[in-house]
């Protein structure tokens, strides 16, 4: 079981720890609802050092990233970040990820912790096919980099105390390399997966202690709290963000998953299996991933069947919880075409009972 450079801080703070993606990670500290609302109202800090980081460099770096990802890398400029996904050869998604453009010959790919090995092999395979020098032009730096996500409406103002660079006016999905908290250089990125704004900060493991202490001190006046993976999941679901293994996986197209906005069928963007997804978009999918809100009292969970009024199965729940902010029972599900329109009533089979729900929109708050 791997640990992160921040594990001793989590344990000292009394976090409930549990295995996740091969790492021992904090699940909660003061409780999911309290932590969730701290991020929505103030700010919180997440240890996301388990995420994977791959460097892609050299004259064919752009070609590789453009071939592997569905979004249009040609639209990126230096200092911009792009949300995207890898598609496989059978119509599904290998992973969703972030692409950071440093320059035309240098990119950083940030991938999900549970898919690091799979994603790395995928990148290496395609890099070799392009004739790239894998040992020199690709680097899996996942074990060398730590990362904190400081999220919430007060996050950027608090973090501004730790750098001379202007971070409070940074646009969404941009990044800078800046001196921060006495560290010569970090990657400071206005990204995150909570829907409440904030930043993500990448540093080398050797600077982890300095980074943690400085972030906690800078955020103290604003009421910063450490946040576990439990609230990270409720925050992303409440915001309507996909999670690999729930809304997206090797068997679902980004077109079905509502990720058409990161799937760009533009000239020069010949990503893996493009023709399949383009045809799917033109002909309309037979299933759609949609958010829903429970009308009857009950909580939907992953894998629960979705039914029509006659009791016919029309889909499956991807994620479900009670929104800590609104108190409403919410979730996502794949449903058959014809049941995906806004306001459509469906039924979730919860512990043998068919409970009424309706298709809605995100975010849920």
Q: What is the pLDDT along the chain (365 residues), one digit of tens a residue?
A: 999 999 999 999 999 999 999 999 999 999 999 999 999 999 999 999 999 999 999 999 999 999 999 999 999 999 999 999 999 999 999 999 999 999 999 999 999 999 999 999 999 999 999 999 999 999 999 999 999 999 999 999 999 999 999 999 999 999 999 999 999 999 999 999 999 999 999 999 999 999 999 999 999 999 999 999 999 999 999 999 999 999 999 999 999 999 999 999 999 999 999 999 999 999 999 999 999 999 999 999 999 999 999 999 999 999 999 999 999 999 999 999 999 999 999 999 999 999 999 999 999 99
> For residue 126, what is the enclosing H or E element?
helix 116-129
pLDDT value, residue 17: 98
Residue with tokens 């400029």: 77
Contact of 119 with 56, CB cutoff 8 Å: no
Q: What is the pLDDT of residue 199?
A: 98
DSSP H or E run through 40:
helix 32-41
Provide the pLDDT for residue 205.
98
Could you say which of 3.60.10.10, 3.40.830.10, 3.30.70.1400, 3.90.600.10 is the CATH number of the domain covering 52-140? Answer: 3.30.70.1400
Smallest Cα–Cα separation from 121: which of 52, 218, 187, 75? 52
CB neighbourhood size of 30 (10 A): 16
Domain extents in the chain = 7-48+144-239, 52-140, 286-365
pTM: 0.97
Model pLDDT, residue 263: 98
* CA geometry: angle 154, 160, 161, nearest 5 deg: 105
Per-residue pLDDT at 42: 98
CATH class of the domain at 7-48+144-239? alpha beta
CB 323 within 8 A of CB 330: yes
Task: Please give the pLDDT value at position 350.
Answer: 97
Beta-carbon count within 10 A of 163 CB:
18
Say how far apart CA 52 and CA 49 lie, in whole Å: 8
Output the CA angle 129-84-50, nearest 5 degrees: 90
State residue 80's pLDDT score. 98
Protein fold of 286-365: Elongation Factor Tu (Ef-tu); domain 3 (2.40.30)
């Amino acid at each position: 079981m791997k640990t992160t450079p921040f594990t001793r801080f989590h344990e000292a703070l009394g976090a409930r720890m549990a295995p996740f993606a091969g790492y021992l990670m904090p699940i909660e500290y003061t409780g999911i609802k309290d932590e969730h609302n701290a991020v929505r109202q103030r700010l919180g800090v997440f240890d996301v050092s388990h995420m994977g980081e791959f460097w892609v460099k050299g004259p064919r770096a752009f070609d590789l990233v453009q071939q592997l990802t569905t979004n249009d890398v040609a639209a990126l400029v230096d200092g911009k970040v792009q949300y995207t996904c890898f598609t496989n050869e059978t119509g599904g998604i290998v992973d969703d990820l972030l692409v950071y453009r440093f320059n035309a010959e240098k990119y950083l790919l940030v991938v999900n912790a549970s898919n690091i090995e799979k994603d790395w092999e995928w990148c290496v395979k395609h890099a070799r096919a392009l004739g790239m020098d894998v040992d020199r032009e690709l680097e899996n730096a996942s074990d060398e980099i730590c990362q904190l996500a400081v999220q919430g409406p007060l996050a950027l103002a608090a973090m501004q105390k730790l750098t001379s660079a202007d971070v409070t006016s940074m646009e969404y999905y941009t990044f800078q390399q800046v001196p921060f908290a006495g560290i010569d250089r970090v990657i400071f990125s206005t990204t995150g997966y909570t829907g409440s704004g904030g930043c993500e900060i990448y540093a080398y493991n050797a600077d982890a202690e300095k980074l943690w202490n400085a972030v906690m001190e800078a955020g103290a006046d604003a009421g910063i709290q450490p946040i576990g993976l439990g609230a990270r999941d409720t925050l992303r679901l409440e915001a309507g963000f996909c999670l690999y293994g729930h809304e997206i996986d090797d068997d679902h197209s980004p077109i079905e998953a509502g990720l058409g906005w990161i799937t760009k069928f533009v000239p020069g963007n010949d990503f893996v299996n493009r023709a399949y997804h383009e045809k799917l978009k033109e002909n309309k999918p037979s299933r759609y991933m949609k958010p829903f809100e429970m009308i009857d009292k009950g909580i939907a969970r992953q894998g629960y069947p979705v039914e029509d009024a006659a009791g016919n199965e029309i889909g499956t729940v991807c994620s479900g919880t009670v929104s800590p902010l609104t108190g409403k029972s919410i979730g996502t599900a794949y449903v058959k075409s014809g049941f995906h329109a806004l306001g459509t009533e469906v039924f979730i089979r919860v512990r043998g009972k068919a409970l009424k729900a309706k298709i809605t929109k995100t975010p849920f708050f």
